[in-house]
Amino acid sequence: MDEALIKRHFPILDQEVNGHPLVYLDSGATSQKPNTVIDAISTYYKEYNSNVHRGVHTLGTMATEGYENAREKARQFINAKSTSEVIFTRGTTTSLNLVAQSYGRAKVHEGDEIVITPMEHHANLIPWQQVAKLTGATLKYIPMQEDGTLSLEDIKETITDQTKIVAVTHVSNVLGTINPVKEIAKIAHEHQAVIVVDGAQSTPHMPVDVQDLDVDFYAFSGHKMLGPTGIGVLYGKQDLLENMEPVETGGDMIEFVGLYDSTWKELPWKFEAGTPTIAGAIGLGAAIDFLNQVGMDEIHAHENEIATYALDVLSEVEGISIYGPKKRGGLVTFNIEGVHPHDVSTVLDAEGIAVRAGHHCAQPLMKCLNVSATVRASFYLYNTKDDIDRLVEGIKKTKEFFGHVF
C-alpha cells in the first residue's frame, strides 16, 4: 500500500497543529474523510437535495436512488443476504439500543441470561444492563484472560441453555482484542441464543462477512470507516427483524394509519421512522467505494504491520505499560508510569500528535486493568511507521517534561 498516495486523499492531514505536521492517531474515535466522501455529500446538497421515498419529482427520485444505492453498497460490504437486513441508524450505539429495546425486552424474561464481556464499550453494556433490570434476567460476564483475550473454554462454560442473548465486541476499542465471533456464534446457537456483535472497531479495518460469521445482529458506524457522523448500520437476520416491533414510529415507516391502529412498512423501512440521514447515507456509500478501491485485505494487512511496529518500538521505551494481547487490531493502549493519560495527551498534542486519553467508554474494563484511564493510539490506512516514530519521540519528550528518566 502506498501510504503517501493514500494520505493525499485526506485534506485534513495536510496541515500543521501547534507548529508541527499533524499526526492523527485517533481513528478509533473517528476517522478522517477522503475528498470523495466530502464531495459526495457536497454534491447531494448542491445538486439533488430532497427528501426520500415520498416525492415523485426528479430531485426526490435522485435522492431516493442515492440513499438506497448506499444501502446496497453496505449490504455488499458485509455480505448480507438482502437489503431488507440492512437498517440505517445514527450509529452503533443506536443500532445496539434498537436490538436491546425491540428484541431484548420482548424475548428476555425473568430467569433468563444475557451474556457479555468485561471489555465491552458502554454502548454494548448499558443497554443490556437495562434489559436485565426491566425483565429480571441475569447479566453474566465471560471471564477475561490476563492478556485481554477470551478462552473458548470460558465461553462454553458461561453460555448455557438459560442464555437468550450473547452480546460481544468483535474488536475491543481499548485492548485491540479480536474476539472469535464465529466460534462464539456457534456456541450461542447450540443453546438457542442469539448473538449481537458490536462491529464498530472491526468493520472499518478488516473484511466482514456476516453470513460466514453467522451472527444474528451486527452493528457499525459510518464515521469510523471514512464516512460522516450520524449514520450507521444495523444488520439483522431477516426472520428476526420481521418479528420485531419498531422502537420509533411516525412518518415513512408506516403502511396504513387509521384513527385507532396502524400497520408498518416492510423491512428495512419499518425501523427508519422520519426523515433519515440522507446525506450521511450517501457519504457512507462513497466511503465504502473508497475502502473497496483500496481493498479491505490490504487495509487489514497494513494495520497489522503498523500495530506490530508500534508494539515493538513502544515496548523498548522504559516506564510504559501496554495493555492487550500481542495479536490485535490497529491500536495500542498504554500508560506512562507516574504521568496521567490526560497530561500525556496534552504534551503530545503540543507536538502535533492526536491521541485519545480517558476511560474510552469502557469503565468496567478500566477497573479490570486497575487503572482509571489510559492513552490510546489508533491507526488506519493513512498512518505510517513515521507516524509511530513521531509518537515515540513525543512520549520521550513527555517523560522529560515531567522529569521521568528511566
Look at residue 404 in the predicted model and tell me its pLDDT: 62
First to last CA, the chain: 37
Residue 355, phi then psi, degrees to nearest 5: -130, 175
Report the alpha-carbon distance of residue 98 to residue 108 in Å, rounded: 14
Residue 8 parent element (H or E)? none
Look at residue 1 in the predicted model and tell me its pLDDT: 76
Report the alpha-carbon distance of residue 302 to residue 159 in Å, rounded: 35
Residue 338 corresponds to which cell in the numbers above? Answer: 507516574
Residue 20, phi then psi, degrees to nearest 5: -130, 150
Q: What is the pLDDT of residues 28-78, one digit of tens each?
A: 999 999 999 999 999 999 999 999 997 789 999 999 999 999 999 999 999
With a threshold of 0.75, does the pTM exceed it? yes
Q: What is the pLDDT of residues 188-219, one digit of tens each?
A: 999 999 999 999 999 999 999 999 999 999 99
Let me know: does 298 contact 292? Beta carbons within 8 Å.
no
For the chain, give percent helix, strand, coil, nearest 5.
Answer: 45, 15, 40
- Among the listed residues 361, 366, 368, 392, the single catalytic one is 361
Q: What is the pLDDT of residues 82-131, one digit of tens each?
A: 999 999 999 999 999 999 999 999 999 999 999 999 999 999 999 999 99
Mean pLDDT of the chain: 97
Report the alpha-carbon distance of residue 214 to residue 187 in Å, rounded: 11
Report the alpha-carbon distance of residue 307 to residue 302 in Å, rounded: 9
Q: Choose among 329, 314, 331: nearest CA to 398.
A: 314
Look at residue 54 in the predicted model and tell me its pLDDT: 79
Axis-axis angle for helices 58-78, 278-294 (nearest 10): 40
Look at residue 406 in the predicted model and tell me its pLDDT: 47
Residue 289 parent element (H or E)? helix 278-294
In this prediction, residues 345-356 reach a mean pLDDT of: 98
Look at residue 205 in the predicted model and tell me its pLDDT: 98
How large a percentage of the chain has pLDDT more than 70? 99
Q: Are strands 16-17 and 20-21 parallel, antiparallel or unpaired?
A: antiparallel
Residue 218 parent element (H or E)? strand 217-221
361 catalytic residue (yes or no)? yes
Q: Are strands 262-264 and 254-257 parallel, antiparallel or unpaired?
A: antiparallel
